[in-house]
Amino acid sequence: MNKNTILIITGEDSGDLYGGNLAKEIQRLYPDIKISGVGGKQMRSAGVDIFCDVSDISVVGFWEVIEKLGLIRRLYKQVVERLDSGNVKGVVLIDYPGFNLKVAKAAKERGIAVFYYISPQVWAWRKGRVKAIKKYVDKMMVILPFEKEFYQREGVDVEFVGHPLLEVIATPDRIIQGEAISSSNKKEICQDLGVDDKKLIIGILPGSRKKEIAYMLPEILKASSLIKEKYPSVQFLLPLSQSIEEDYLKDFITNACHAERSEESLHSYIKLIKGKNYDVMKVSDLLIIKSGTSTLEAAIIGIPMIIIYKSSMISYYLAKALVNVTYAGLPNLLAGKEVAPELLQYKMNAKSIAEKTTYFLEKKDRLEQMREELKNIKYSLGEQGASKRTANIIINHIKNINQF
């Protein structure tokens, strides 16, 4: 292992994306550095030496984590071995608190600088973790505006760096952030996606994990049939996550067929798109979207949405007992009110989804109101350049303690 090594550790696809962009900025500032860690395709493409793929440890819900405890314990031993090598100068932790706070403790005990980028949602649940963060983390770099004040009250060294999604989404040839996409751009993207820009488009984003899809997509497909009855020309776009095989989604579509519908007819209006989540969002009139990072992506782009979520009953009731937030969707949480409607657990059913969708499609003024409110949410996330600012903080801190 290189004597000047930084570890970046995440446990989710979104963290892999942020970690990849951060790694590029760190290497731009300090080309001789070696970056190793736990991540996926994005971090690997940025030159990070991945010793455990994020897809192996990614879990959803409380109950599901038990299935992978053995693997997670083995991974922790691998991380500690690297910390004991004497070559690691800093550890960057990205969310994934159950695992990463243990790594923070181990690194701190060995005199290694610890940075937390993308805060755990301790303001929502398990606030007691703030004590561990204060004890073991040298610097918190937060991406939501209210998080800075939260950590400052707790005596944690914290800096708001802005949201990394602003740099991820802001491709100059595709979007003007926070503004409605132009008709010419929409036509261009629709041609690329193989849909009619003159007809109604609804985007379906049920999540990037198989268990999330298993819980949510069947009800969405039933709702699509109900919506189709009222809007016969509607087009449904379902972008395919990199972690999900196309055949897996096709199986759900096939299984959702009613006796009066053939598999072919369902495929004709539910169009699977390989990747291109952002393009699907940009051209959609409305999104049916799983609660999570994708809702904030949609808010930045400025597309109205219906937020949904469903998990196992055990996970749901545990979360309900432990989580202390009013809203599940990040746009609503940032706005402090329900900008986008939320359908959670037992309310997330075909009838409710169809009713909410048709309501907003009929009330064009409500759609426009939501667009305007989403602009304000986007503006609250700061300026582009979160990865660059974070990289500077990390490199300067390590240099100041004479680790390089």
Q: Where are the domains of the chain?
A: 5-167+384-399, 171-379
What residue spans of 62-194 are helical by DSSP H?
Answer: 69-83, 97-109, 129-136, 145-153, 165-169, 183-193
Taking the C-alpha atoms of residue 311 and residue 325, their distance in angstroms, rounded to an integer, is: 17
- The whole-number pLDDT of residue 51 equals 94
Domains 5-167+384-399 and 171-379 share a fold: yes
Contact at 8 Å (CB) between 4 and 404? yes
- Across the beta sheet with 286-290, the strand order is 270-274, 235-240, 201-205, 286-290, 305-309, 342-344
Listed residue (365, 357, 374, 359) closest to 201, CA to CA: 357
What is the Cα gyration radius of the chain? 22
Q: What is the pLDDT of residue 155?
A: 94
Domain 171-379 fold is Rossmann fold (3.40.50)
Contact indicator for 265, 300 with CB cutoff of 8 Å? no
pLDDT of residue 220: 92
CATH class of this structure's domain 5-167+384-399:
alpha beta
Check the CA dihedral 40-45-48-51 and report its sign: positive
Distance CA 238, CA 284 (A): 11
Give the pLDDT of the chain (404 residues) as one tens digit per residue: 677 899 999 988 889 999 999 999 999 999 989 999 999 999 999 999 999 988 777 655 555 566 667 778 889 999 999 999 999 999 999 988 889 999 999 999 999 999 999 998 776 666 778 999 999 999 999 999 999 999 999 999 999 999 999 988 854 434 444 345 666 788 999 999 999 999 999 999 998 777 788 888 889 999 999 999 999 999 999 998 776 777 777 776 776 655 445 444 555 678 988 878 999 999 999 999 999 889 999 999 999 999 999 877 776 666 665 566 678 899 999 999 999 999 998 899 999 999 999 999 999 899 999 999 999 999 999 999 999 999 999 999 998 887 66
Q: Answer yes or no: are the C-beta atoms of 302 and 178 closer than 8 Å.
A: yes
- DSSP β-bridge partners for residue 239: 273
| Cβ-contact 18, 164 below 8 angstroms | yes
pLDDT at 71: 79
Neighbours of 386 (CB within 10 A): 28
pLDDT at 325: 66
Predicted TM-score of the model (pTM): 0.81
Q: Spell out the residues 6+ positions from residue 402 whose beta carbon is closer than 8 angstroms to its own.
A: none
Which pLDDT score is estimated for 260?
42
